[in-house]
Amino acid sequence: MQTNLEQVILRNLLTDENYMRKVLPFVKPDYFEGVYRILFKEAGKFVGKYNKLPTAETFKIELDQSDRIAGEQYTVAVDLLPQLFNKDPVDEEWLLNNTEKWCQDRAIYNAIMESISIIDGKHETMTKGALPDLLSKALGVAFDTNVGHDYIENYEQRFDFYHTEEDRIPFDLEYFNKITKGGVPRKTLNIALAGTGVGKSLFMCHVAAGALVEGRNVLYITMEMAEERIAERIDANLLNTPIDQLPNLSREMFRTKIEDLTRKTTGKLIVKEYPTGSAHAGHFRALLNELKLKRQFEPDIIFIDYLNICASSRMKGMGGAINSYNYIKAIAEELRGLAVEFDVPVFSATQTTRSGYSNSDVGLEDTSESFGLPATADLMFALISTEELENLGQMMVKQLKNRYNDPTSNKRFVIGVDRSKMRLYDVDENEQNLTDDTPVFDKSKFNEDTSKFKDFKL
């Protein structure tokens, strides 16, 4: 009987334990045809039950007792057994590479055949809307044989990691680059905490505009303002025009400014609006797949404005036993999972509590609705505005949590704000008088004179 790749794969699955344990989790019965599929299922059943490979004798007994195989298929299977348990040596690297390629080819073939069934309306459960996901999963078939980092044996990999420059998305603000060691890494969730009207959307629009100028692809998801309002803020920033003067630009002047901007960057910016409280990570995932399919657009950074008005894909609504702590924490975990899945940094924002709004030294405890959000974020900072800072055209930034650097270094600093043009900028170094950890004046009721409580006992 002629040997083929299916037979080689099945033979090594039955006789090479090292190979079996590497590839069995990735090989599906549907990849095999005819009697090979039945033999693979029997092999998987045996390994699953006994956690070891069968011998030729035990496998023959299992076949005899199986109700999956009979008649001509049984005869063919028995004739194959001598070849399947023939331990001819095969180059391991060649076998792994060819097994992976064979799995990929079979997955794509099966997906195409299933797609034809869906298009013809003959599929029992799937509709045409499932086609992109079906084909994407088939194209994504790959072996991942890594089962962890061996501290002793993998020291060289660890040394190389220490000396590899991590891909980061830099800011155009000096102190933000200082506290993040050059920008935010991929696969991270970064949160701005601020009161109403302080500048959460302004901050995200500015960073989005800066990333676009740097040639990055930017996706801005808004659930608070219309797409056009977000684009208007970014126009004011990038076109160096006060936001209230944009309607006064002629069509020709506006087009000229956009064309000048286009020549300066190779990046793209997509702004997508969802109704407040209705969209979750599942919707964002579908949007990312659709953008890749229809526009060949893959973002380098994602902004979600803002986290508290997203929905959760795991928890439906805020009714019943679901409380705000678990609900907001679930949303944060889903958005961070999205960042990891698509290998991008995600920026979002959250509101302060009522006491935090009047507090000029905001802390993590001032996070509204859920303390689970700070627990999930990689970087979290407060944007603080006071009457004095507003008069100076500045905003204070306070680090609350930082997985990229020491959060006590440059814990507080100030940045300039041009609200008319929706821009942030670096201030002179001599204006940075808040970069240490010296407490600032707290206007909240909790900082009142405590002498009146001297007679109070717990």
**Domain CATH for 192:** 3.40.50.300
Task: Identify whether residues 290 and 436 lie together within a single domain.
Answer: yes
Task: Identify whether residues 113 and 199 lie together within a single domain.
Answer: no
Tell me if 258 is assigned to some domain: yes
Of 119, 139, 159, which residue sits at a domain end? 139
How do residues 372-423 score in pLDDT, each as one tens digit?
A: 788 889 999 999 888 888 899 999 999 999 999 998 888 999 999 999 999 9
| Nearest residue to 210 (alpha-carbon basis) of 334, 303, 76, 123 | 303
Domain containing residue 60: CATH number? 1.10.860
Task: Identify whether residues 183 and 132 lie together within a single domain.
Answer: no
**Which range of residues forms the domain containing residue 356?**
168-440
CA distance readout (Å), 216 to 204, 209, 345: 15, 10, 12
Tell me if 145 is assigned to some domain: no
Task: Identify whether residues 106 and 181 lie together within a single domain.
Answer: no
- 346 pLDDT band, cuts 50/70/90, is very high
The Cα–Cα gap between 387 and 207 comes to: 24
Task: Identify whether residues 28 and 108 lie together within a single domain.
Answer: yes
DSSP code of residue 185? E
3-class state of residue 301 by DSSP:
strand
Q: What is the overall mean pLDDT for the chain?
A: 85
Range name among 111-125, 279-293, 312-326, 396-410 with the lowest pLDDT average: 312-326
How do residues 318-344 score in pLDDT, each as one tens digit?
A: 555 567 778 888 899 999 999 999 999
The Cα–Cα gap between 350 and 306 comes to: 7
Please identify which residue in the block is written with the tokens 């083929």. Answer: 4
Task: Identify whether residues 35 and 129 lie together within a single domain.
Answer: yes
Radius of gyration of the chain (CA): 29
Tell me if 425 is assigned to some domain: yes
When pLDDT is averaged across residues 85-102 and rounded to a whole number, the result is 87
Task: Identify whether residues 369 and 282 lie together within a single domain.
Answer: yes
Tell me if 158 is assigned to some domain: no
Tell me if 241 is assigned to some domain: yes
Tell me if 370 is assigned to some domain: yes
Asked if the model's pLDDT at residue 205 lies above 60, the reply is yes
Question: How many domains are contained in the chain?
Answer: 2
Task: Identify whether residues 330 and 205 lie together within a single domain.
Answer: yes
Task: Identify whether residues 134 and 190 lie together within a single domain.
Answer: no
Please identify which residue in the block is written with the tokens 């000396």. Answer: 163
How do residues 62-86 score in pLDDT, each as one tens digit?
A: 888 887 777 888 888 888 888 888 8
Sequence-separated (6 or more) residues with CB below 8 Å from residue 293: 132
Tell me if 318 is assigned to some domain: yes
Asked if 168 and 183 touch (Cβ cutoff 8 Å), the reply is yes
155 prior amide bond cis, ω within 30: no
Amino acid symbol at 295? R
Asked if 223 and 273 touch (Cβ cutoff 8 Å), the reply is yes
Task: Identify whether residues 113 and 38 lie together within a single domain.
Answer: yes
Task: Identify whether residues 116 and 201 lie together within a single domain.
Answer: no
Tokens of 94: 């060649």
Tell me if 454 is assigned to some domain: no
Burial of 45-77, coded b for 16+ CB within 10 Å and e otherwise, reads: ebbeeeeebbeeeebeeebeeeeebeeeebebb
Task: Identify whether residues 112 and 206 lie together within a single domain.
Answer: no
What is the model's pLDDT at position 68? 76
Residue 26: exposure state from Cβ atoms within 10 A (0-12, 13-18, ≥19): middle
Phi, psi angles (nearest 5°) of residue 148: 135, 165
Higher pLDDT, 434 or 179: 179
Asked if the model's pLDDT at residue 155 lies above 70, the reply is yes
